[in-house]
């Protein structure tokens, strides 16, 4: 029994450091961040793409659409980067791959203390003199005549009356007490209009039944230009130019629609004076396996026109319409930038 307990204790001691190392691995991941104006949401997405961690927070307490000016960070641990990028009221803690953002509640305001009103008491002394106890507790004497002060060595002593002087208590009057209460409110910035510009830079490889080769997408927001080069099954080489449009639905899923015009430029068919033009329309569904790396697939519809050069009696070789499945992968090198308008 003693040996069994000892083995359990050793296992716990071995697993505990391993768990700590797993949690700290995300905190120590190296990140870089460009300087500039951006919303908190865009900044968190940038760090998430570099580290693979997931940020968790309550959007009713943390305004992720608020815009901040962030400093530039070069190859710093994620924990250090968060300390420099997050606004001071926001705290964070690591739980495995999750980074929980916390914002302490605003200080509670104590209700104003109601100060009881002071009562005024009148003490009748004689017909000519009256003493009043005011709020400032200063004794004020009022007489019918003011006697000048004469220089004399005679000492005057005021003896209290033999019988106690009854106090006439006036009814309690409740007086307002002016107080200034500083209200602690959550600062909400003025509505700032901003526009996000996303650059599109993709490099990849695609293949279908007719062509296979490399391509590049260059554009802004949803629209981009295409330049592509590939080879067909006749060992002939084609150069293509076109345009496309991009729709991003979630962080991982999106759709691209490409229209490309290819021309035969080199190879076996080109040497025998064949010239061909291929028009290809391809809608594709893409999925981000990891940040920056995407797989895509979809149907490819194409129209091929081919002919011989002038002087060949055969002339036109006709038209061919076909379709096939297209598969490929690409690397996303685009960036997003937020600017005020």
270-305 per-position pLDDT tens digit: 887 788 889 999 999 999 999 889 999 999 998 988
| Cβ contact 252:259 at 8 Å | no
Q: What pLDDT score does 266 carry?
A: 87
User: Do 202 and 334 belong to one domain?
Assistant: yes
Assess if residue 161 is contained within a domain: no
Q: Is residue 23 part of a domain?
A: yes
Q: Which helix (DSSP H) or strand (DSSP E) does residue 198 occupy? A: strand 194-207
The pLDDT score that the predictor gives to residue 16 is 44
Parallel/antiparallel/unpaired status of strands 67-70 and 73-77: unpaired
Angle 42-286-239 (CA atoms, 0-180°, nearest 5)? 110
Domain CATH number, residue 20: 3.55.50.30
| Residue 321 CB burial class (10 angstroms; 0-12, 13-18, ≥19) | exposed
The answer to whether residues 325 and 202 touch, using CB atoms and an 8 Å cutoff, is: no
Task: State the pLDDT at residue 70.
Answer: 85
Asked, for residue 170, whether it belongs to a domain, the answer is no
* 339 touches 192 (CB < 8 A): no
Q: What is the pLDDT of residue 271?
A: 82
Tell me: do 217 and 318 sit in the same domain.
Answer: yes
Sequence-distant (6+) residues with CB within 8 A of 249 are: 255
**Cα–Cα distance for residue pair 131/77, rounded to 1 Å:** 77
Are residue 96 and residue 215 in the same domain, yes or no? no
The answer to whether the beta carbons of residues 255 and 272 sit under 8 Å apart is no
- Would you say residue 109 lies in a domain? no
Helices (H), 111-266: none
- Domain final residue pick, 53, 85, 102: 102
Residue 6: inside a domain: no
Q: Domain boundary residue among 64, 87, 102? A: 102
Query: Which strands form 168-169's sheet, in the order they lie side by side?
Result: 139-142, 130-133, 121-124, 168-169
- Using the 3D structure, point to which of 71, 102, 133 is the last residue of a domain: 102
CATH number at residue 199: 2.40.160
Number of domains the chain is built from: 2
Tokens of 195: 């526009």
Q: How far is residue 102's CA from residue 181's CA, in Å, rounded to a whole number?
A: 28
pTM: 0.42
What per-residue confidence (pLDDT) applies to 15?
Answer: 47
Which residue has tokens 């001071």?
Answer: 88
Q: Are residues 335 and 201 in the same domain?
A: yes
Residue 251: domain span: 194-340
Please check whether residues 222 and 332 belong to one and the same domain: yes
Could you tell me if residue 156 is inside a domain?
no
Note the pLDDT of residue 185: 43
DSSP secondary-structure letter at 310?
T
Q: Are residues 204 and 95 in the same domain?
A: no
Residues of the chain with pLDDT under 50: 13, 15-18, 20-22, 106-111, 118-123, 125-147, 149-158, 168-170, 173-175, 177-189
Q: What SS3 class is residue 147?
A: coil
Query: How confident is the model over 186-223, as pLDDT tens digits?
Result: 444 455 566 777 889 999 999 988 788 999 999 988 89
Residue 51 falls inside a structural domain:
yes
Does the residue 37 lie in any domain? yes
Residues 219 and 335 in one domain: yes
């Amino acid at each position: 029994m003693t040996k069994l307990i000892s083995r359990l204790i050793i296992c716990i001691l071995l697993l505990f450091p391993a768990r700590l190392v797993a949690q700290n691995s995300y905190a120590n991941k190296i990140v870089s961040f460009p300087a500039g104006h951006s919303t908190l949401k865009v900044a968190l997405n940038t760090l998430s793409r570099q580290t693979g961690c997931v940020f968790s927070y309550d959007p009713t307490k943390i305004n992720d659409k608020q815009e901040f000016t962030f400093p530039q960070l070069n190859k710093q641990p994620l924990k250090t980067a968060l300390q420099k990028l997050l606004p001071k009221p926001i705290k964070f803690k690591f739980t495995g791959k999750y980074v929980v953002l916390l914002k302490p509640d605003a200080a509670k305001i104590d209700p104003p203390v109601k100060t009881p009103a002071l009562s005024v008491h009148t003490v009748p002394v004689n017909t000519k003199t009256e003493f009043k106890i005011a709020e400032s507790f200063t004794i004020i004497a009022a007489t019918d005549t003011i006697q000048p002060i004469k220089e004399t060595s005679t000492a005057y002593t005021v003896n209290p009356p033999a019988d106690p002087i009854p106090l006439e208590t006036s009814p309690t009057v409740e007086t307002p007490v002016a107080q200034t209460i500083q209200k602690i409110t959550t600062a909400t910035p003025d509505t700032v209009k901003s526009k996000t510009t996303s650059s599109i830079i993709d490099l990849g490889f695609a293949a279908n039944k007719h062509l296979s080769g490399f391509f590049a997408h260059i554009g802004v927001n949803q629209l981009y230009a295409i330049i592509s080069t590939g080879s067909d099954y006749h060992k002939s080489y084609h150069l293509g130019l076109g345009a496309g449009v991009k729709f991003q639905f979630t962080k991982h899923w999106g759709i691209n629609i490409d229209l490309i015009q290819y021309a035969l430029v080199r190879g076996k068919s080109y040497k025998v004076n064949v010239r061909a033009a291929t028009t290809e329309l391809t809608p594709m569904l893409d999925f981000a396996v990891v940040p920056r790396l995407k797989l895509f697939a979809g149907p490819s519809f194409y129209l091929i026109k081919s002919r011989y050069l002038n002087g060949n009696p055969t002339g036109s070789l006709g038209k061919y319409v076909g379709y096939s499945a297209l598969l490929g992968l690409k690397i996303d090198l685009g960036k997003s930038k937020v600017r005020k308008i």
